[in-house]
Chain A
């Protein structure tokens, strides 16, 4: 029987980052909602102009990074909660990281192409 080990001494920064990214995403959502009410989604040109704005690009980039970090902590928590065998867990962690990093790059490319 394998001995149980705990004491990895991490988790605080992830826990804190999950909360900080949640607040940022909530604020970003409100900004985009306000922009939409202001007519930013009325035509492709209006939407393009919004997303071409440097400040909005900056916020959108942060949003994508926040979403991926937030999802990483959340999905990793699900694996840690429910998946007991360490080999399967580490595989799922790696696959999750690959997927999220890939999505982040893809999303940034789409935004910066606009």
Chain B
């Protein structure tokens, strides 16, 4: 006995650019047939890759943990593995572009060097010069609570590459992802470098290029709020200064 499987065809318009072969980028129209088991955009893209293996994109965990498959989906940054195929309206092509503002290596793959350079600039690790206790450095429940909404960031770069300030000054503005990570350590009661961290950020470019545009909050696939974290950094600076 065979079950009638309802197939659905998805139209795609995909940004293509291979610097070794193409003089300039172009958009490729391609369609793919998906069965009901294909739930997420990434499922369709894997089928697309089987159909035309020249299409290049990053993906790994396929469940929103690794952050590899961040891309611009119908004009909005997001993770392909977390985007439901059912949310796309029928009859309209799904437009896929690389994350905006970063150099394109090939097709949907971007060079994240600048993004990670900013992330590394905020010393994204705990600084505590006390000798480590036998087991672990404990926090109270209230102190631990402060880290919620901060530690979950997967560094997919959806937020920073949606931020106009990061587009204009990617070399000088830390960007929402870096600032969220900075606040994650500023807020950590086990960290002893709070004042140095605030010094590191107190700069018209590194922190104060944020104009509260909130594109970062709009696109974060993990539902985090970098704008709020940036506001808390500013609040701490004010409390330190006045």
Contacts and interface: CB of A to CB of B under 8 A. Distances in A.
A3 to B, nearest CB: 11
Given A4-B171, A6-B203, A9-B203, A77 B211 contact: yes
> Interface size for chain A: under 10, 10 to 19, 20 to 34, or 35 or more residues?
10 to 19
How many of chain B's residues touch chain A, expressed as a range?
A: 20 to 34
B242 to A, nearest CB: 8
A13 B241 contact: yes
A16 interface: yes
A85 interface: no
Contacts of B211: 77
B97 interface: no
Nearest to B164: A81
A21 to B, nearest CB: 15
B142 interface: no
Contact of B202 (A10, A81, A82): A10
A50 to B, nearest CB: 35
Given A4-B171, A6-B172, A81-B169, A11 B241 contact: no
Given A4-B171, A12-B241, A16-B238, A81 B209 contact: yes
Contacts of B65: none
A15 B165 CA distance: 16
Shortest 5 CB-CB distances between A and B: which pairs? A11-B208, A11-B204, A12-B237, A81-B168, A6-B172
A87 B144 CA distance: 47
B237 to A, nearest CB: 5
B202 to A, nearest CB: 5
B204 A80 contact: yes
A12 B238 contact: yes
B205 interface: yes
A81 B165 contact: yes
B206 A7 contact: yes
21 contacts: A4-B171, A6-B203, A7-B200, A7-B203, A8-B203, A8-B204, A9-B203, A10-B203, A10-B204, A11-B203, A11-B204, A11-B208, A12-B208, A12-B234, A12-B238, A12-B241, A14-B204, A77-B211, A80-B204, A81-B165, A81-B209
B169 A11 contact: no
